[in-house]
Amino acid sequence: MGSAMTALPLVFDAPRRGKPPRHLADLTREEARAAVADLGQPAFRADQLARHYYRGTTDPAQMTDIPAAARETLREALLPELLTVVRHQTADNGRTRKTLWRLHDGALVESVLMRYPDRATVCISSQAGCGMACPFCATGQAGLTRNLSAAEIIGQAVAAAAAMADGEVAGGPGRLSNVVFMGMGEPLANYARVRATLDALLGTAPYGLGLSQRSVTVSTVGLVPAIRRLTEEGRNVTLAVSLHAPDDELRDTLVPINTRWKVGEVIEAADAYAQRTGRRYSVEYALIRDVNDQPFRADLLGRLLAGKLAHVNLIPLNPTPGSPWDASPLPAQREFVARLRAAGVATTVRDTRGQDIDGACGQLAAADRVEGVPAVALPTPAVEAPVPLGAEADQG
């Protein structure tokens, strides 16, 4: 197995590149009102602008409650185009749509909108690429290009909400109900921007999408100081921990961050989050044939989580081009589930939506060239983690 693993360095500090233009979604309400006043407009125009933006409207012609002479000035100053659609790909009879976005500097990221009978969920990216170097994940193997700004992250959710409202996904007009930070990147390695995004997702009109905390999930491979910070700050969003192995020996290889914070520390931090919120956390576990799907590892995981406020979400591995691994066979999946449930651990197997368009878990990489622009991340040198990780000041 070791020879099949591609050893990449862990990268915690995102490379510093030119910042995106200032955007309304990067500002607090007070900052937005001040920015509008600086343009010689009444401060309340910021609220009008925000109402349009969070409804998916950026065309000045549609902003009829704002004087025509002021619309273009406000749009140019506070609603620059940060995300440009390169292409959409659909699957599942049109109920799943993956979008490739080009950012202001040419970096590329992907998001996936999935419609179910009872909900619509968008999986958004928080970084271009990822520095966590998990060898079975296409994004992790691409490396890290940079952190996204809050507005770049928020914009993916706003676009998904607008697509649902406009009936662009099979099933007719609907409402975006869930957001998961499970796209490209490690969300808690871009903590300040992700935290600002949560404010926008949960905020009420005009400065937010008005989602419930239960409908937003933040995933992490186990940045323990950042999990603790999230706990201290009092949000009650769903926490998902990408564990993928119950023992340190295997997890050190599958999830290299484990060389910094071991399985026991990660689960302890997740338990503290569950204790404060009263809500169970999700343990994400990609089942990889003959790597981490053995019955004894199911028993180890069961003992690790027995009696805890946790739920295991098993994910049959979504292979990527050139990957030496495959999903666990159905008999192995069934035995793994049975052993976890016998230990009293709530367990489900995730639906692999969008697999045929490389839109499923672990497949987001945009690993091609689009109009001559390389979509994979630029190689970056290893950078030592700041201490404590996740509690650092906002990074450029």
Catalytic residue list: 110, 361
Q: Measured on CA atoms in the order 81, 83, 87, 93, is the torsion positive or negative?
A: negative
* Neighbouring residues of 36: CB distance < 8 A, sequence distance ≥ 6: 42, 43, 45, 46, 49, 74, 78
Structure tokens at 393: 């000041």
* CA dist., res. 380 & res. 358, Å (int): 25
- Contact between 316 and 352 (Cβ < 8 Å): yes
Q: Taking the CA atoms of the chain, what radius of gyration do you get in angstroms?
A: 21
Three-class HEC string of 104-155: CCCCEEEEEEEEECCEEEEECCCEEECCCCCCCCHHHHHCEEEECCHHHHHH
Reduced to 3 states (helix: H, G, I; strand: E, B; else coil), residue 97 is: strand
Place of tokens 């666990």: 328
Q: Report DSSP state, residue 84.
A: E
User: Strands 108-116, 127-129: parallel, antiparallel or unpaired by DSSP?
Assistant: unpaired
Count helices and strands (H / E) in the chain.
11, 14
Greatest Cα-to-Cα distance within the chain, rounded to the nearest angstrom: 69
Count of residues for the chain? Answer: 396
* Neighbouring residues of 272: CB distance < 8 A, sequence distance ≥ 6: 227, 228, 231
- Contact between 311 and 346 (Cβ < 8 Å): yes
Cα 86 from chain centroid (whole Å):
19
Enumerate the H helices of the chain as residue ranges: 29-38, 45-54, 68-78, 138-142, 150-165, 191-202, 224-233, 248-254, 263-277, 295-305, 330-342
Please name which of 193, 194, 206, 156 lies closest in space to residue 176, comparing C-alpha atoms: 156
